[in-house]
Structure 1
């Protein structure tokens, strides 16, 4: 039997920690191994308890979540998912720059929280769609540049030449901020099939994670900036 994923919860509000713990503890494949109320304690407990995933608040006393994430990731102690009520770009980019593997808002429902922990534990980067769209805007520049210019040229970016038509389609949908489940529903295939296609895309294009895939999709002109504003639309 596979050992459960070990999770450390970090937040300076006890009720928040208790709520996350309650959600995760009912899952057979997840185990909450500890709680911390500030970044310094998070770093110490990560070294001591060796969790697989740390759920990290941003604004905390003693040491904030960004610095704690940076120290944890630098020493390869665990993967970090940043959870915050602050839907602000500076937190997003600081967290990703510190090496966080995921970023979700605290108002995400229980199902998404559990999925986030599982995805990150499995080695996948995870971003909420609204965060993905801001990453795109920050990293690809204003409308009319990069992807728009590439699309206007009518010439496919040579980086995409190795992809099959289906892999191109999957990359485009991921670039619009859709989850694997949403891509599967859109293409009428199984989620496992989507994961296989996405793994092939990562391997062929030498991408580390979903964020890099999104940025490349825009840079290559596969999708345009407006395409990501509403992942649910056709």
Structure 2
């Protein structure tokens, strides 16, 4: 049976960029571009009118920036996914987009295959981050600069269960530990192996901590923790 078509809305204030993205996306057999927006307000309006599966969202746009537009789009629909595609990969841009609810974050130097994979991933409910974006998120925990493994950093204690539990007291001790492992970039099977439990048990903890933190994705959970860390610093 053929896969369902992924309906995409492209939002970017530069016409030449929009044209290029539309051309690339329309070459994909499972993607249909249903609309184009030249600013954040138009993106919000068209998302409501066209009900896309994915909004490909630039961050720096006139009228309403991409993070604010993302928040409004997601407040109006629980079925759409936002994939940020931007020139910017600074900490503030990443955190603002993920806190707003973006399910993915790519930079504009991504290749066609990477863009196609990201659109399909967010449409299916997965989180996808460009490698440099994931590294910056982890770097926010480890003190920034060159990324070193959290276990080797003096900042690693901020990812420990007790430290996270102190910042997020609604979590259980195990949920705080799982959040720390998520922040280290570990998958559910890796976390299960770490704690000698089943993957199903880890999924239960993840779903519970998502509900308590009011987030919908691993990226949002990491971004929330990064924001909390910055506030505490």
TM score, norm. by length of structure 2: 0.67
Aligned counterparts of 1:134 and 1:45: Cα–Cα separation in 2: 32
Q: Name the residue aligned to 1:30.
A: 31
Which residue of 1 is the match for residue 56 of structure 2?
55
Secondary structure of 1:69 counterpart: helix
Alpha-carbon offset, residue 75 of structure 1: 1.7
Which residue of the partner structure matches residue 111 of structure 2?
109
Shift of 1:66: 1.3
Correspondence list, 1:62-141, <5 A: 62-76=63-77, 78-138=80-140, 140=141
Which residue of the other structure, out of 135, 155, 165, is the alignment partner of 1:145?
155
What is the deviation of 1:97? 1.1
CA RMSD of aligned residues (A): 3.6
- What is the CA distance between 1:3 and its match in structure 2? 2.7
Q: In structure 2, how many angstroms separate the alpha carbons of the residues matched to 1:9 and 1:212? A: 22
> 2:229 — aligned with what?
none
Change beyond 3 A, Cα 1:213–1:36: closer
The reply on whether 1:211 has 2:219 as its aligned counterpart is: yes
Q: CA deviation at 1:145?
A: 3.1
Ranges in structure 1 where 5+ consecutive residues have no aligned partner: 151-157, 164-170, 180-196, 216-234
Quick one: structure 1 residues 213 and 42, their matched pair in 2 at CA, closer, same or farther if it must change by over 3 Å?
Answer: closer
User: Cα distance, 1:159 vs. partner?
Assistant: 3.7
**Preserved CA contact (<8 Å) 2:122 2:128:** yes
Deviation of 1:46 (Å): 0.4
Shift in Å, 1:89:
1.3
Q: How far apart are 1:55 and its partner, in Å? A: 0.4
Q: Answer whether contact 2:99 2:220 (CA < 8 A) is retained.
A: no
Q: Report the CA distance between 1:28 and its aligned residue.
A: 1.3
Please tell me whether the aligned partners of residues 202 and 209 of structure 1 are also in contact (alpha carbons under 8 angstroms): no
5+ residue gaps, structure 2, are 144-152, 161-172, 188-197, 211-215, 224-233
The structure richer in helix per residue is 2
Return the alpha-carbon distance in structure 2 between the equivalents of residues 90 and 13 of structure 1. 22
TM-score, L = length of structure 1: 0.67
Retained in 2: the 8 A contact 1:159–1:205? no
